[in-house]
Structure 1
Amino acid sequence: MRINQNTVLQGKRVTLVPYTSAHVPRYHEWMKSEELQRLTASEPLSLAQEYEMQCSWQEDTDKCTFIVLDTDKWSRQRATEEECMVGDVNLFLTDSEDPTVGEIEIMIAEPNYRGRGFGKEATLIMMSYGMTHLGLTTFEAKIGLENETSIGMFKKIHFKEVGVNNIFKEVVLRMIVNEEERQWLLQQTSHVDEKNYSLMKLQTQICDS
């Protein structure tokens, strides 16, 4: 989705940046994992196919993707984005008749970052972005029945279980953003700093030169 191609959302633990070709090699290495393939219901792709996928995700109007970076590592240690990658977060506009509905997915690919609040903050930031920039008022999540940790996280951030798909062996959770939930989401993400991606990269290049 082009709307976020120049957007950086910097939180306390995580920073969300657009998914670019520079991130593809690390992402490709992640997706060789059979565990991640199972949890994300994904098929392994070649590196060339992964680059093609990145291009399509950047252009498609029904997908919004950010790469999740470790904020501390990225901002203080001056490491490259690829070195700071911990996962990704996505919004899919799955209902052509209702553009206010978005399906959200979060993947913390680096095992050392799981269970430390990175996934929760990334999810909340993405939901706030979807609400304020994409006009979303309903969020859905489809999670494998065996992924109890992820199911528990979504329930903690006010998602409710609305069904189980026994064919795909996944639970469906939903959050409807009424005014109370809207204010809660805004409060949860009030610390987030939205920045210009191109300007930040230019400033980094100047500092490094």
Structure 2
Amino acid sequence: MKINQNTVLQGQRVTLVPYTSAHVPRYHEWMQSEELQRLTASEPLSLEQEYEMQRSWRDDADILFSPECTFIVLDTARWAGQERADEDCMVGDVNLFLTDAEDPTLGEIEIMIAEPSYRGRGFGKEATLMMMSYGVRNLGITKFEAKIGQENETSICMFKKLHFKEVAVNSVFQEVTLRLDVGDQERQWLLEQTNHVEEKSYVEPKLPAGTLET
């Protein structure tokens, strides 16, 4: 995940920043939600375990077991316009995994808009497009997959609107796999969709006074 540790991607609705220790407390709060645990197929972790997970995602060189790239999704208007701390503007996260050791051009993408008030407003769509564009331009990704729970019809519909096609259904895990092959036409479309995005340098926020990263 170190590839994007100094990168900010600022879009119209969302700004993507690297996942740092300063984001962990809010992220940990989100993941206590049974709904988010179900939608992301995640188990609840302690705060200490969440800090350890963040460190492993940042430092782990084994790309098959940690995201190749993780961004925290911020509300651009709150973050850029009012100079608020990242934690006050967090709405979700987006991840890109390299899951096939024999094909580094295949990326599995995950998007989570954790704050209910931000769902259905285009934040997930823009964050996903921005991550896909980053993957194509910086990681050499030419194929994307998304694995989504069958009950998550909203997310499935969003990916289909982004030109993904359903390629498999796993009845055991109740999961749908969608795929997008990025040829010349799709690449041009993707870059056009994200030509408004500004790439900037990121300064990692400091932990609040009295907070210990365990």
TM-score, with structure 2 as normaliser: 0.92
Residues in 2 aligned to 1:60 and 1:109: alpha-carbon distance in whole angstroms: 25
TM-score, with structure 1 as normaliser: 0.94
Whether 2:52 is the aligned partner of 1:52: answer yes
Whether 2:186 is the aligned partner of 1:181: answer yes
Deviation at 1:59, TM superposition (A): 1.6
Q: Name the amino acid aligned to 1:88.
A: D
Q: Could you report, residue by residue, the CA deviation over 1:16-69 in whole angstroms, capped at 9, with x for unpaired residues?
A: 000000000000000000000000000000000000000011123421100000
Checking the alignment, whether the CA contact within 8 Å between 2:22 and 2:205 is kept in structure 1 is no
Whether 2:43 is the aligned partner of 1:43: answer yes
Q: Name the amino acid aligned to 2:56.
A: S
**2:122 pairs with 112, 117, 120, which one?**
117
Whether 2:78 is the aligned partner of 1:73: answer yes
Whether 2:29 is the aligned partner of 1:8: answer no
Whether 2:92 is the aligned partner of 1:87: answer yes
Residues in 2 aligned to 1:148 and 1:67: alpha-carbon distance in whole angstroms: 23
The 3-state SS of whatever aligns with 1:162 is: strand
Residues in 1 aligned to 2:59 and 2:149: alpha-carbon distance in whole angstroms: 28
Q: Name the amino acid aligned to 1:149.
A: T
Q: Name the amino acid aligned to 1:75.
A: A
Q: Could you report, residue by residue, the CA deviation over 1:101-143 in whole angstroms, capped at 9, with x for unpaired residues?
A: 0000000000000000000000000000000000000000000
The CA RMSD over aligned residues, in Å, is 1.2
Deviation at 1:77, TM superposition (A): 1.3
Corresponding residue pairs, total: 201
Q: Name the amino acid aligned to 2:74.
A: L
| Structure 2 spans left out of the alignment, 5+ residues | 207-214
Q: Name the amino acid aligned to 2:7.
A: T
Q: Name the amino acid aligned to 1:38.
A: R
Which position in structure 2 is the counterpart of 1:99?
104
Residues in 1 aligned to 2:43 and 2:24: alpha-carbon distance in whole angstroms: 16
| Structure 1 spans left out of the alignment, 5+ residues | 203-209
Question: Identity of counterpart residues, as a percentage?
Answer: 76
More helix as a share of residues: 1
Whether 2:144 is the aligned partner of 1:145: answer no
Whether 2:176 is the aligned partner of 1:159: answer no
Q: Name the amino acid aligned to 1:92.
A: F
Residues in 2 aligned to 1:87 and 1:48: alpha-carbon distance in whole angstroms: 20
Q: Name the amino acid aligned to 1:116.
A: R
Residues in 2 aligned to 1:131 and 1:150: alpha-carbon distance in whole angstroms: 21
Q: Could you report, residue by residue, the CA deviation over 1:131-170 in whole angstroms, capped at 9, with x for unpaired residues?
A: 0000000000000000000000000000000010111101
Residues in 2 aligned to 1:49 and 1:188: alpha-carbon distance in whole angstroms: 37
Which position in structure 1 is the counterpart of 2:211?
none
